[in-house]
Structure 1
């Protein structure tokens, strides 16, 4: 027994020593970066405030303590940083808004790159496009475009980062009219792993342009996006919150909207929540005009609301109605089921799953159990060209979002397993209803839980993506960072 204890102590000491050596090695890389970048960029260390802001993520479980953080201020400096990291084979993370739920996807124990200095929003009225820096959140973009009465196809709630959201696909209140966010990108400003800065367009770089639309950070670091803009005036909408006792009425209204509303200016998110043990339902309603036509949302507006915040407002004010701060700084994961249709039996199954997992896990450290139902028209994928995600545009699928949040790291595996199980259960319900393509449909990568197969994320796109990856990143520099990774 004494020998075993001594052996265990030596192993633990050896691991601590290895970690120390690795940290010292990475620290030298941080210093090399600091000595090589321009005055437009900076390197920070714990406990400097900028460092703490750079490593912060919305979910505590997505944050890591890096050796240093880097805030590049120019695309050229991003290139310098990438070449140093690649030549030294140093692990790194790339953070835009920091809202990703999967651990290690935009964080690292190595060098954290924060895109926080890429905050330009430059509108060009002559082309009807806007160049947006990769460090923005959508709130900033909407605010900057308000004076011009134009808008972009972007995030639906406050605090969502531009970069990860776009590179993963992007579903918006405007998607029924204009498609996914990736369908509206005209140019990606990309820093390749060799440090070269290039503007990727569909006409000049068709293969790389295809791969970037859903391919995340596998080809380099995107520092800016040029989006098509669209006319935008006042809108009607907001959020109503209902007590769980009205679930049957909300289910009926949601199923009716999903199957009968064909007006592309209308959009909806119905969310079933257990928040601190209380069953509530929130409904985000949207219509792209100052008033909504009679009848579209009557099924919701006639139900007594616990709170109601629906009115005519500007687009930014609409986005700010959804407050995501209640689950910030907690641990949390997403998962998704790509539905073909939203039916009343399926919604009843969603409620059943919500109630079951709340009853099972609330005694751990669970404080939020959430299922978001998001109807879209069958035509949304006709607005764009082929893309890595979704790999098929023959049929659109609806990205059901499941989100659990908790406080104790010891419960991580329980919640992970629950998210896997609830997705499997809802998939089975969908298949039993005749939605036979759900098990093999594209999983929305911005919602997909880590461990989801690459075949479920990229499907038949993967072969072409690998070819592009081998051309752009033959030494797999981008494999040193987190996220959905293309194997080469």
Structure 2
């Protein structure tokens, strides 16, 4: 039975990808402008930019790639797409968009699950041409373009035996991940990705280019977790760290072993203090059955005995565990299997993953997996992320998290489905599920009733306070200083 479930799951993923490729993308329209007016702006941009940049229109291959997103529900049919190739051209584009009050969106890797955040029916800016990876061994830093995905970065740094604090699974973009915060396999060692940023190259809304470091206290603070509220980042300079081979990979486990998985996860969360060790267990409901995808990671060729023994003792359906390169481990996860589906993320922050709380999460996956089946739900997933409680101690003040005095552990809810007719139903379901899990954590004594959530997992209608807490007023003030004309308000996302 398990074999047929997993085989059918692969077939379903292929069918969803095919359907997504044939379907026209959908998305919200937040601004009212005539098609002719926006097309006129597209032509103005085309005339103003250099030969290093280009404007594309529907039916061209480049346009289709520029508007495409990992989640089909995050894509929209833009009037045109623009691929800037220089910072000066980014500045010209922003000046034209701002002066004409034209809606736009900025896309890095395209992994946002929120409709309208990096997509638009106006002008789509795709940062594809900013794909630089320049490693500096003398400063132990690397300069990265916002058009990259982390897979590219890891592969380029591998010959140098160094690495960065970046994404954990394949296909995730550098830009949105970093600007939102960035939880990594190395977070228990070094903090969030924003804690390792040395500088941002930023095109301000007025078109000027600047380098933002810790010397610019307000703007540096805002960019670390504040997304694209302050302009368009054209380069990130990150600190690098020595990298050996690592140990780990993915195992899949069928539903009859859930109690053993839960016990092992709770024990790991409570007892393992080695910052090089990490796990990412995901409770899934797919094609009528529950199961677990478990990624294990140790930041060395061989882990100390005992850390992962409980997980390895559980009978598994598949197992791909070895000493390998960091890139190989990241690509071992089939994170792109649901690409092309409609989808939403949502989140709950907790202080610990206890057995009782994990049982609530398991029950939620079963409940919604069964009850949403007739609403075209194809994949119901709860990603448990047990970092060390000291995870926020590695960095200085930043937009996110607003409070570094205690470590919040994120839970990522991911619901995927096929039909746009079910959008509202799935939206309400993921909210209800998060609320029930948060209530369960509070009921067992965790002080998380008002805990902030991670912006990259937050649902599109989450309040600013739910992500940035007491930082909201300061962020609004910084935004007013650097974008008084509210140019960045013409694009989507969590706006200050």
Q: Is the pair's TM-score, using the shorter chain for normalization, greater than 0.5? A: yes
CA distance in 2, matches of 1:48, 1:134: 23
Give the C-alpha shift of residue 321 in structure 1.
Answer: 0.4
1:453 aligns with 2:435: no
What's the secondary structure of 1:474's corresponding residue? coil
Q: 2:33·2:102 contact (CA, 8 Å) conserved in 1?
A: no
Corresponding position of 1:198: 210
Q: 1:416 aligns with which of 413, 427, 443?
A: 427
Instruction: State yes or no: 1:159 paired with 2:166.
Output: no
**Structure 2 residue aligned with 1:43, among 41, 55, 59?**
55
Structure 1 runs of 4+ with >6 Å offset: none
Are 1:326 and 2:337 counterparts? yes
Q: 1:5 — aligned with what?
A: none
How far did 1:276 drift? 2.2
1:53 aligns with 2:89: no
Q: Is the 8 A contact 1:234 1:313 kept in 2?
A: yes
Q: What is the match of residue 228 of structure 2?
A: 217
The residue that corresponds to 1:136 in the other structure is 148
What is the CA-CA distance between 1:439 and the residue it aligns to?
Answer: 2.1
Deviation per CA, 1:211-267: give whole Å up to 9, x if none.
110100100000110000000010001000000100000000000000000000001
Q: CA RMSD in A?
A: 0.9
Alignment of 1:259 with 2:303, yes or no, is no
SS in 2 for 1:309: strand
- What is the aligned length? 466
* In structure 2, distance between residues paired with 1:69 and 1:96: 13
Q: Contact 1:134 / 1:163 at 8 angstroms: preserved in 2?
A: yes
Match of 2:286 in 1: 275
Q: How does 1:11-410 map to 2 (within 5 A)?
A: 22-203=34-215, 205-410=216-421
Task: Give 1:176 deviation, angstroms.
Answer: 0.6
> Secondary structure of 1:327's partner?
coil
Tell me how far 1:396 sits from its aligned partner: 1.1
Counterpart for residue 11 of structure 1: none
Partner-residue secondary structure (3-state), 2:449: helix
Partners of 1:115 and 1:279 lie apart in 2 by: 38
- Gap change, CA 1:20 and 1:481, over 3 Å in 2: closer
Q: Secondary structure at the match of 1:135?
A: coil
Measured after TM superposition, the shift of residue 378 of structure 1 is 1.2
CA deviation after TM superposition for structure 1 residue 462, in Å: 1.0
2:178 is paired with a residue whose SS is helix
Q: CA deviation at 1:277?
A: 2.1
1:14 aligns to what? none
Name the CA distance, whole Å, in 2 between partners of 1:202 and 1:348.
43
Q: Is the contact made by 2:288 and 2:370 (CA closer than 8 Å) also made in structure 1?
A: no
Give 1:278 shift.
2.5
Distance 1:474 1:246 in 2: 56
Whether the aligned pair in 2 keeps the contact of 1:277 and 1:367 (CA below 8 Å) is no
TM-score scaled by structure 2? 0.93
The 1-side partners of 2:339 and 2:107 are apart by: 17
Range that drifts further, 274-283 or 466-475: 274-283
3-state secondary structure, aligned to 1:43: strand
Measure how far apart 1:21 and its partner are.
6.7
Contact 2:247 2:300 in 1 (8 A): yes
Paired with 2:86 and 2:421, the residues of 1 have a C-alpha distance of 41
- The SS at the match of 1:440 is coil
Q: Any idea what the Cα deviations from partners look like across 1:14-73, whole Å, max 9, x if unmatched?
A: xxxxx9971100000000000000000000000100000000001110000000000000
User: Structure 1 stretches of 5 or more lacking a match?
Assistant: 1-18
Q: 2:475 aligns with which of 465, 468, 473?
A: 465
User: How far apart are residue 451 of structure 1 and its match?
Assistant: 1.2
TM-score under structure 1 length normalisation = 0.95
Aligned counterpart for 2:491 among listed residues 465, 481, 487: 481
Q: Is the 8 A contact 1:168 1:214 kept in 2?
A: yes
Alignment check: 8 A CA contact 1:240 1:306 kept = yes
Equivalent residues of 1:122, 1:131 under 8 A apart: yes
CA contact (8 A) 1:55 1:66 kept: yes
Q: CA offset at residue 358 of structure 1?
A: 1.1
Closer, same or farther in 2 for the Cα pair 1:43/1:251, shift >3 Å? Answer: same
Tell me what 1:4 maps to: none
Equivalent residue, structure 2, for 1:8: none
User: What does residue 442 of structure 1 align with?
Assistant: 452
Question: How many angstroms does 1:141 deviate by?
Answer: 0.3
Asked whether the equivalents of residues 170 and 336 of structure 2 are also in contact (C-alpha less than 8 Å), the reply is no
Paired with 2:120 and 2:333, the residues of 1 have a C-alpha distance of 29
Q: 1:300 to 1:470 in 2, by over 3 A?
A: same
Q: Write the distance in 2 (CA, Å) between the matches of 1:286 and 1:341.
A: 19
Q: Could you tell me how far apart the structure 2 residues matched to 1:338 and 1:270 are? A: 16
Judging changes above 3 Å, is the alpha-carbon distance between structure 1 residues 466 and 20 closer, same or farther for their aligned structure 2 residues? closer
8 Å CA contact 1:337–1:427 kept in 2: the answer is yes
